[in-house]
């Protein structure tokens, strides 16, 4: 069955969804006081994937729902994030594959003539997809009877929302804040949107620079290095931490360095801050990046490049949200919440009727996490106690090949094991021994399973290899349901498929061979 989120993204939205009897949700319902009937059971401020997921789930729970979309249904993910970036990765990935004549020849495929691409055509593919998905999301809301206010929302009180510029305030039993995030640009970095830019502009693919410096080797930097090198750019990474890809599992980051960085037109500086970045003029003057040592702050080097992409993280979008009116003190801009997604005031107390999900609470900056938190918040406001297990939320970086993970890194798991007093086991499956991967000529990569030696429960899985993003789901399900290695290795995996890489790892964890 499609999830509500993916159904809406694909356009198969749910006018025939079964509506449960109207729930009596939250504060107004519980209060014994007589008060004016609120306009809505739930008002959601911000309609990215988090707000949208919450709205659809609330309708299925029988709530009367409104969203303040601020003219941007779909938010970052649909308009400036996941969706257009995956379109660019898909198109540029094809270019990379078709230009790899050695790889093609190994399968007996011969291409006469050079493989080229139409930059505007690739850009249109991304933009058109974003528009289509945005339309699907909007359609799903109206089909389900959700009221969409185009205005931005601002808190006049915990459950009072001012529609900015409309001179109107609406009352709700519950309010979910879901206003997401925007790119973080460090001090000293000047952007002009043309030669120095963030993902917001890069996704438009207005040009393909010969040489681009990418500041930050996190998700966005890595994915765009994949796009740009496939389209012919040379890339220089500038990373503040001592190692590239600092937030990935160390072994996986080392393999990623071998597979995704070293064989490509990429070089890198680590342990340096981009302290001063100045835009250039295309064809006339280069952009410059001054780098300083991360520890000593001494000048290391200044490079001149055609373009600079700033991928240094994202900051919460809480501007104009009226948080000061509800006694919320943000933590670096993030709204503090408890594990049920209830917003907390500056003394750490739950604010009755006010919830916060997605990038704005900073718990896990991923689209499906935002949506899952929205569903969790709705469950809680309807009186069905729910706590989302963030350890079972998978993530993926859509490079070629992909990197995917669920649960803590090996380093974090080791710390956890020591603290909680259990012994950690590690087992590995390899793509190079997998028939399907070899048939595709894609034998690079591993799947690493981290488990508890006392219970054989899966703690985390990290994969680098072809279609890792799809493979990780089985592992996320295992963590969510506490499935053991014994149970997983008795589950039959289709032959020949990439899933057998996991089968091999599960069996290896029990000291058995998969073959
Ligand atoms: C380039 C890029 C690629 C990404 N790729 C992936 C990926 O592949 N997979 C993945 O899981 N995640 C990915 N992400 C992260 C993902 O986009 C975010 O985690 C996700 O969009 C967060 O959803 P959200 O609903 O919390 O916020 P958002 O999607 O940011 O939506 C918030 C919305 O609220 C609006 N808003 C702000 N203030 C107000 C207000 N006062 N009133 C009304 N509306 C307001 C904003 O304009 C926006 O439309 C990517 C991000 C980027 C930048
Ligand atoms: N496939 C996906 O799921 C996906 C894709 C893209 C983005 N995202 C989300 O978007 C968020 C933002 O991504 P991101 O890549 O911008 O951030 P990130 O937090 O993943 O990585 C930022 C990197 O920039 C480095 N850095 C910061 N300041 C620097 C400076 N002045 N000089 C040099 N290096 C510096 C950091 O050390 C870090 O390695 C992520 O948290 C992720 O959750 C997810």
Q: What is the CATH number of the domain that holds 290?
A: 3.50.50.60
Closest residue by Cα to atom 3, ligand 1, is: 81
CA of 35 to the centre of ligand 1 (A): 35
pLDDT interval class at 131 (50, 70, 90): very high
Give the residue from 368, 388, 408 where a domain finishes. Answer: 388
To the nearest whole number, what is the mean pLDDT of the chain?
Answer: 93
Quick check: 278 pLDDT over 60? yes
Residue 5 is predicted with a pLDDT of 45
Q: Is the CB of 397 under 6 A from ligand 2?
A: yes
pLDDT average, residue stretch 440-457 = 98
Per-residue confidence band for 6, with pLDDT thresholds at 50, 70 and 90: low
Q: Is 366 annotated as a binding residue?
A: yes
pLDDT at 253: 98
- Tens digit of each residue's pLDDT (9 = 90 or more) over 478-507: 999 999 999 999 999 999 999 999 999 999
Alpha carbon nearest to ligand 1 atom 38, residue: 179
Whose atoms come closest to the Cα of 309: which ligand?
Answer: 2
Alpha carbons 155 and 170: distance in angstroms, whole number: 10
User: Does 57 qualify as catalytic in the annotation?
Assistant: no
For residue 42, the model assigns a pLDDT of 98
Determine, yes or no, domain membership for 203: yes
Residues 201 and 307 in one domain: yes
Task: Please choose from 218, 224, 468 the residue to mutate so as to test ligand 2's pocket, defined by most ligand atoms within 8 A of CB.
Answer: 218
- Percent of the chain whose predicted confidence (pLDDT) is above 90: 90
pLDDT score for 35: 55
| Predicted local distance difference test score (pLDDT) of residue 22 | 43
Distance 400 CA to ligand 2 centre (A): 18
From the CA of 203, give the closest atom in ligand 1.
1
42 DSSP β-pair partners: 65, 174
pLDDT at 363: 98
pLDDT score of 32 more than 50: no
- Assess if residue 23 is contained within a domain: no
Q: Are residues 402 and 490 in the same domain?
A: yes
Which residues are CB-contacts of 355 (< 8 A; sequence separation ≥ 6)? 174, 175, 176, 177, 337, 341, 342, 343, 377, 380, 381
Q: What is the pLDDT of residues 43-100, one digit of tens each?
A: 999 999 999 999 999 999 999 999 999 989 999 999 999 999 999 999 999 999 999 9
Q: What would the mean pLDDT of 193-215 be, rounded to a whole number?
A: 98
Question: Do 68 and 176 have their domain in common?
Answer: yes
Q: What are phi and psi of 19, to 5 degrees?
A: -95, 125
Give me ligand 1 centre to Cα 405, in Å.
21
Question: In 150-274, where does DSSP find H-type helix?
Answer: 199-202, 219-230, 250-256
Helix (H, G, I), strand (E, B) or coil at 72: coil
Say if 25 falls within a structural domain.
no
- pLDDT at 272 exceeding the cut of 50: yes
The answer to whether residue 56 sits within a structural domain is yes
pLDDT tens figures, 413-448: 999 999 999 999 999 999 999 999 999 999 999 999
Instruction: Choose the final residue of a domain: 292, 312, 332.
Output: 312
Kindly state whether residues 379 and 430 are assigned to the same domain: no
Cβ–ligand 2 distance for 218 under 6 Å, the answer yes
441 and 454 co-located in one domain: yes
Task: Give the domain range for residue 93.
Answer: 78-125
User: Which residue among 313, 370, 390, 472 has the greatest number of ligand 2 atoms within 8 angstroms of its CB, and so is best to mutate?
Assistant: 313
135 has binding-site annotation: no
If asked whether residues 177 and 227 sit together in one domain, one would say no
Q: Looking at residue 120, what is its pLDDT?
A: 98
Please compute the mean of the pLDDT values over residues 385-408 and round it to a whole number: 98
Report if residue 377 sits inside a domain.
yes
- The rounded Å distance from CA 220 to ligand 2 centre is 6
Q: How far apart are the first and last CA of the chain?
A: 33
* Residue 12 pLDDT > 80: no
Closest ligand 1 atom to residue 318 Cα is 38
**Of 56, 50, 59, 49, nearest in space to 21 by CA:** 59
Structural domains of the chain, count: 4
Q: Please, is 47 exposed, middle or buried when counting C-beta atoms within 10 Å of its C-beta (0-12, 13-18, 19+)?
A: buried
- Select from 282, 312, 342 the last residue of a domain: 312
Q: Does residue 301 fall inside a structural domain?
A: yes
Statement to judge: residues 177 and 52 lie in one domain: yes
Residue 20 placed within a domain:
no
Q: Does residue 156 share a domain with residue 233?
A: no
Asked whether residue 129 carries a pLDDT value surpassing 60, the answer given is: yes
pLDDT of res. 128: 98
Q: Is the CB of 314 within 6 Å of ligand 2?
A: yes
Helix, coil or strand: residue 8: helix
Whether 332 shows a pLDDT value over 60: the answer reads yes
Residues 358, 418 share a domain: no
Same domain for 69 and 94, yes or no, is no
User: What's the pLDDT score for residue 54?
Assistant: 98
User: Does residue 283 have a known ligand-binding role?
Assistant: no
The predicted pLDDT at position 515 comes to 60
Residues with CB under 6 A from ligand 1: 45-46, 48-51, 68, 70, 72, 75-77, 80-82, 85, 152-154, 178-181, 199, 220, 317, 320-321, 358-360, 365-368, 370, 398
Res. 34: pLDDT tops 50: no
**pLDDT value for 29:** 39
pLDDT of residue 512: 82
Together in a domain, 139 and 121: no
State whether the beta carbon of 215 lies less than 6 angstroms from ligand 2.
Answer: yes
Task: Choose which residue among 56, 127, 179 to substitute to test ligand 1 binding: the one with the highest number of ligand atoms within 8 A of its C-beta.
Answer: 179
Query: Is the pLDDT at 209 greater than 50, yes or no?
Result: yes
- Mean pLDDT, range 148-175, rounded to an integer: 97
Atom 36 in ligand 2: which residue has the minimum CA distance?
A: 216
Question: What is the spatial distance between Cα 345 and Cα 358, in angstroms, rounded to a whole number?
Answer: 18
pLDDT digits (tens, 9 = 90+) for 138-156: 999 999 999 999 999 999 9
Tell me the mean pLDDT in the region 174-201: 98
| Domain contains 15 | no
Whether the CB of 209 sits within 6 Å of ligand 2: no
Q: What is the pLDDT of residue 283?
A: 80
Q: Provide the CATH number for the domain around residue 397.
A: 3.30.390.30
* Same domain (yes/no): 465, 410: yes
Q: Which of 299, 384, 481, 495 is catalytic?
A: 495
| Model confidence pLDDT, tens digit, residues 214-265 | 999 999 999 999 999 999 999 999 999 999 999 999 999 999 999 999 999 9
The DSSP bridge pattern shows strands 299-305 and 287-293 to be: antiparallel
ipTM for the whole predicted complex goes beyond 0.90:
yes
């Amino acid at each position: 069955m499609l999830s509500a989120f993916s159904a809406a993204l694909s356009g198969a939205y749910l006018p025939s969804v079964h509506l449960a009897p109207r729930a009596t949700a939250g504060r107004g319902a519980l209060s014994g006081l007589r008060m004016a009937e609120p306009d809505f059971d739930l008002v959601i401020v911000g309609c990215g994937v988090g707000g949208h997921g919450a709205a659809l789930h609330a309708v299925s729970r029988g709530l009367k729902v409104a969203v303040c979309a601020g003219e941007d249904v779909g938010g970052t993910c649909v308009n400036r994030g996941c969706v257009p970036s995956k379109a660019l990765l898909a198109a540029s990935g094809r270019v990379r594959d078709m230009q790899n004549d050695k790889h093609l020849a190994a399968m007996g495929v011969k291409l006469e003539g050079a493989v080229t691409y139409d930059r505007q055509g690739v850009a249109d593919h991304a933009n058109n997809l974003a528009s289509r998905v945005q339309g699907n999301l909007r359609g799903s809301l109206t089909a389900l009877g959700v009221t969409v206010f185009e205005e931005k929302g601002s808190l006049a009180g915990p459950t009072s929302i001012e529609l900015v510029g409309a001179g109107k305030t609406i009352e709700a039993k519950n309010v979910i804040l879901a206003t997401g995030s925007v790119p973080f640009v460090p001090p000293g970095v000047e952007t002009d949107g043309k030669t120095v830019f963030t993902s917001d502009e890069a996704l438009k693919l207005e040009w393909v620079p010969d040489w681009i410096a990418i500041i930050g080797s996190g998700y966005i930097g890595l994915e765009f290095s994949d796009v740009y090198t496939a389209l012919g750019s040379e890339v220089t990474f500038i990373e503040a931490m001592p190692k590239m890809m600092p937030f990935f599992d160390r072994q996986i980051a080392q393999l990623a360095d071998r597979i995704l960085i070293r064989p490509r037109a990429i070089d890198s500086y680590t342990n340096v801050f981009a302290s001063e970045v100045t835009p250039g003029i295309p064809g006339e003057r280069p952009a410059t990046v001054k780098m300083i040592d991360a520890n000593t702050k001494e000048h290391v080097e200044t490079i001149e490049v055609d373009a600079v992409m700033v991928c240094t993280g994202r900051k919460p979008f809480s501007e104009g949200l009226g948080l000061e009116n509800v006694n919320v003190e943000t933590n670096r801009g993030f709204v503090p919440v408890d594990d049920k997604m209830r917003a907390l005031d500056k003394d750490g107390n739950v604010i009755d009727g006010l919830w916060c999900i997605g990038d704005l609470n900073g718990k896990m900056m991923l689209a499906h996490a935002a949506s899952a938190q929205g569903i969790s918040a709705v469950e809680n406001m309807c009186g069905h106690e729910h706590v989302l297990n963030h350890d079972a939320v998978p993530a993926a970086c859509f490079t070629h090949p992909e990197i995917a993970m669920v649960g803590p890194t090996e380093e974090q798991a080791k710390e956890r094991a020591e603290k909680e007093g259990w012994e950690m086991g590690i087992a590995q499956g390899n793509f190079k021994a997998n028939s399907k991967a070899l048939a595709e000529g894609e034998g690079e990569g591993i799947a690493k399973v981290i488990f508890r030696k006392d219970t054989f429960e899966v703690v985390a899985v990290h994969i680098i290899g072809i279609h890792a993003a799809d493979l990780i789901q089985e592992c996320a399900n295992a963590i969510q349901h506490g499935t053991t290695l014994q149970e997983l290795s008795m589950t039959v995996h289709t032959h020949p498929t990439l899933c057998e890489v996991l089968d091999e790892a599960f069996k290896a964890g029990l000291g058995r061979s998969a073959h």
